[in-house]
Amino acid sequence: TGLITFDPGFGNTGSCKSAITFMNGEKGILRYRGIPIEQLAENSTFVETAYLLINGNLPDRKTLTRTSVMLSDFSLLHEDMKFFYQNFPRKAHPMGILSAMVNALRSFYPELIDLDEDLNFTFLRLISKVRTMAAMAYKISRGHKVVYPRPDYSYCANFLHMMFDSPVIPYQMDDDLVDALNVFWILHADHEQNCSTAAVRVVGSGKVNIYAALSAGISALWGPLHGGANQAVIQMLESIQQEGLSIPQVIAKAKDKNDPFRLMGFGHRVYKTYDPRAKIMKKICDKVLSRCKHLDSLLNTAMELEAAALSDAYFQEKNLYPNVDFYSGIVLRAMGIPTNMFTVMFAIGRLPGWIAQWREDMLDSNQKISRPRQIYMGENIRDYTPIDERP
């Protein structure tokens, strides 16, 4: 195998140089462009954080206003794109719809304005339209009338409006839920070279258009070991309750190597301590749930499970702590988001990170096409056997 290093899952490979997100897995540190995630969650908005990730600095007031105006201007979807939705089967998963629709956007908006531009039209279009697409997918899947965005609403409020407003029952905007969504999206906005971001970079490195690269990222995010974990956590908590499993039984299942079951929302490739995002999400969860009592039982099961896992030798030895997904599903449920839309919520949040990483890759003159090697384990040279002579 010569000089090729075997690194399954790329756990020890630095595949790029990046100035976007800093993570320290031992200490549980996460910073976007140097700013601690705790400060952003406390003070920033998702739109401002998106600008920070993509452009490197927080915007001044004028730039932030222009960004918000442009996000509002771009929020409508080309009417022809509505026909795409109508032809997906009703039960199609919204992640599959989203990745197809983002790829299709390229045909409608092929131009890409100067990559050095602070307010890049393509990026803003994507951030705005992906939100509209997600809400539209939900409305159409339910057979409901599509709700158009309102220019007077913030980015986060508009999403809830498009999801839940109806001509007969107007949606009552709730500032606490808008704040919770804002924090949820900030926490998900970037996470250095995770599976979906690596996918965006790998696909993008062939110099494919940004829509195709992002569509690959959305597909990568879909898996239950990655962005699908928030949906898997809720399904796990529900089945624990439905099947009447005790907490020790669940812990035993998670430890049993003959059982494929894993404790969803636990463990992380990089964090070997509590995920800093999970701490913030837990606080948001407590706040939101104090208003949505009907979700209390899921939260109680989650808290019992967390306490049992954290005091169990198996989880301690393997440094398995709750990750961001452990509590985020409960917060999304409290907002009324259906379970099959959870990963879509993650995708909307991660979009600025994917864009920032794709842009950084495109502007890096030293970056090469991604092309890992392998350790070949197959047959050595052998002769071709004609079909009649094969055993």
Annotated active-site positions, please?
268, 325
Q: Does 188 bind ligand CMC (CB under 6 A)?
A: no
Q: Which of 269, 272, 279, 287 binds ligand CMC (CB under 6 A)?
A: 269
DSSP state of 5: P
- Which is nearer to ligand CMC, 108 or 314 (by Cβ)? 314
- Which is nearer to ligand CMC, 209 or 235 (by Cβ)? 235
**Residue 29 host element (H or E):** strand 29-32
Tell me the C-alpha distance between 68 and 185, whole Å.
16
Which of these ranges, 89-97, 136-144, 164-172, 263-271, lies near ligand CMC under the rule CB under 6 A? 263-271
The answer to whether 23 and 270 are in contact (CB under 8 A) is: yes
Interaction residues for ligand CMC, span 321-360 (CB under 6 A): 323-325
Interaction residues for ligand CMC, span 2-21 (CB under 6 A): 9
Tell me the C-alpha distance between 349 and 201, whole Å.
18
Instruction: List the structure tokens of 197.
Output: 């971001």
- Which is nearer to ligand CMC, 144 or 262 (by Cβ)? 262
Instruction: List the structure tokens of 253.
Output: 């299942």
Which of these ranges, 48-56, 144-152, 261-269, 297-305, lies near ligand CMC under the rule CB under 6 A? 261-269
Cα-Cα end-to-end distance for the chain: 31
Q: Does 89 bind ligand CMC (CB under 6 A)?
A: no
The answer to whether 278 and 321 are in contact (CB under 8 A) is: yes
Which of these ranges, 21-29, 97-105, 126-134, 266-274, lies near ligand CMC under the rule CB under 6 A? 266-274
Q: How many residues bind ligand CMC (CB under 6 A)?
A: 21
Q: Does 93 bind ligand CMC (CB under 6 A)?
A: no
- Which is nearer to ligand CMC, 165 or 325 (by Cβ)? 325
Cβ neighbours of residue 192 closer than 8 Å, sequence gap 6 or more: 18, 20, 21, 22, 23, 270
Q: Which amino acid is at 319?
A: N
Longest dimension (CA), the chain: 77
Q: Which of 42, 318, 336, 372 binds ligand CMC (CB under 6 A)?
A: 318
- Which is nearer to ligand CMC, 57 or 249 (by Cβ)? 249
Q: Which of 20, 162, 320, 337 binds ligand CMC (CB under 6 A)?
A: 320
- Residue that is written with structure tokens 């915007």 in the block: 59
Residues facing 348 on adjacent strands: none
Q: Does 282 bind ligand CMC (CB under 6 A)?
A: no
Residue nearest to ligand CMC (CB): 267
Strand order in the sheet with 35-36: 21-24, 29-32, 35-36
Q: Does 225 bind ligand CMC (CB under 6 A)?
A: yes
Tell me the C-alpha distance between 276 and 188, whole Å.
12
- Residue that is written with structure tokens 């409006």 in the block: 161
**Given the rule CB under 6 A, which residues bind ligand CMC?**
9, 191, 194, 225-227, 229, 254, 262-269, 318, 320, 323-325
